[in-house]
Structure 1
Amino acid sequence: MKFSAKSEYALRALVDISGYYGQRPIGVREIAMRQGIPERFLEQQITALRKAGLVKSQRGAQGGVMLSRAPEAITVFEIIEALEGPLSTVTCVGNGVPECAKNTQCAVQDVWCQVGLAVERVLRGMTLAQLAKRQISYDQSAQPMYHI
């Protein structure tokens, strides 16, 4: 399974925004520069996230985007689904109704269902706050240590 660049970029942007939760809106340009994301592309992802109710936007000189809920209350699953649509590993597995040419129970379909459920379990079990905490840890470990 491969997620598109829009999901990767949106996750990076939301991890960035989560560090400012409860403080102030963050400009899309500022996020794009920090994360190395093309601004126009990020604007499109922010629009999708806003429509999904995951972020709010504020216009004006002090405007920008902010999370609509606490980072602990937003799952990676919600974010990916807002950008990619319903998560299904193959076309014959979706909404519990097989669309397979076989029209019977299929061992291959069973495998894809298990894969889909495992992916969904991981994405639902990870919050934006957990991702942000992990990123802070990575950023701190990448900083050079000076000992005297």
Structure 2
Amino acid sequence: MRCPFCGHHDTQVVETRDSDEGDSTRRRRRCQSCDKRFTTYERAEIELPAIVKRDGRRTDFDRAKLKASLMLALRKRPVGAESVESAIEAIEARLRQSGDKEVTSTQLGEWVMKELRRLDKVAYVRFASVYRSFDDVSEFVAAIKETGKKPTP
């Protein structure tokens, strides 16, 4: 594994943990050259369904894009990186469990909102405002009221 800080190829695994779901392995590594530590995740490569956009285009599921969207919604919110990672893993698990070759972006967006609602109510409203294209304050008020309700399973 190459060090993301100095690019050196010799790194040592310091700690290894399996995720709670057992579908990935988290490894803490230390660079032999610069002595910095970093985390890597290993998971089996499983083909996830294609995402069908609202305009009909089809794209591959992009974990990095999902993480960027979650991080934007959670910006300056007190949510840890491990919580974000577990939310991403939960969404990916739903994609795998769907058994479909394609999933609509609308369905994916609903799963993201459900995870954000569980993690942080403010982030949920932020994401919903962009995702659902809120036009006025009443839509914000409705989304805020929705956060007080119990989530549906």
Q: TM-score range by the shorter chain?
A: under 0.3
| TM norm structure 2 | 0.24
Structure scoring higher RCO (CA < 8 A, sep ≥ 6) equals 1
Per residue, is there more strand in 1 or in 2?
2
More helix by share: 1
Q: Normalising by structure 1, what TM-score?
A: 0.24
